[in-house]
């Protein structure tokens, strides 16, 4: 994986992980700042939006970096390929993210149906659901497939 790809890929994963963590911290406002919970809510709102914008922005930059390296024929294949949100089980890591998302989504609905029984656990499940959905989109996406295919090609040429 090119160093530039690694940096943008890792940045997007970290930002989306921070996005998921923001859901874990949101209900803690009265415990951390009992005298001024509004300040905590504002801070969590900033954290949420900043992580979301930076995560999506780093994915856009990663897509552009990959597009620069494509030839005309590869560009046509790239353009025709569907977005990662519509694809499933494209590689081993994506399978893990897809399974975790598939398991966490019904658990989330159960937690929403019985909120008094779920308690803080519903926030944990929601956080897992959000992070696994983000990983589903990234790991099944065009940029990740391009990066892993390029990595396999470079390894094969080194062996020959």
- Cα–Cα distance between 43 and 81 in angstroms, integer? 39
Q: How far lies 58's CA from each of 11, 81, 96, in Å?
A: 6, 20, 22
Q: pLDDT (tens digit, 9 = 90+) per residue, 82-121? A: 777 788 888 999 999 999 999 999 999 988 888 777 788 8
pLDDT of residue 68: 84
Q: How many CA atoms lie within 13 A of 10 on its CB side?
A: 7
Q: What angle do CA 5, 126, 58 make, to 5 degrees?
A: 20
The whole-number average pLDDT for the span 130-146 is: 92
DSSP 140: T
- Cα–Cα distance between 45 and 118 in angstroms, integer? 24
pLDDT of residue 41: 84
């Amino acid at each position: 994986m090119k160093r530039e790809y690694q940096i943008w890929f890792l940045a997007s994963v970290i930002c989306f992980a921070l996005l998921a963590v923001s859901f874990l911290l949101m209900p803690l406002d009265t415990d951390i700042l009992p005298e001024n919970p509004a300040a905590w809510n504002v801070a969590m709102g900033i954290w949420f939006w900043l992580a979301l914008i930076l995560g999506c922005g780093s994915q856009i930059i990663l897509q552009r970096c990959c597009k620069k390296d494509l030839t005309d024929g590869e560009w046509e294949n790239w353009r025709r390929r569907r977005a990662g949100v519509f694809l499933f089980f494209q590689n081993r890591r994506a399978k893990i993210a897809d399974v975790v998302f598939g398991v966490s989504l019904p658990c989330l609905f159960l937690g929403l149906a019985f909120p008094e029984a779920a308690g803080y656990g519903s926030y944990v499940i929601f956080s897992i659901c959000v992070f696994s959905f983000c990983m589903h989109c990234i790991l099944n996406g065009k940029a990740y497939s391009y990066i892993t295919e390029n990595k396999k090609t470079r390894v094969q040429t080194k062996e020959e």
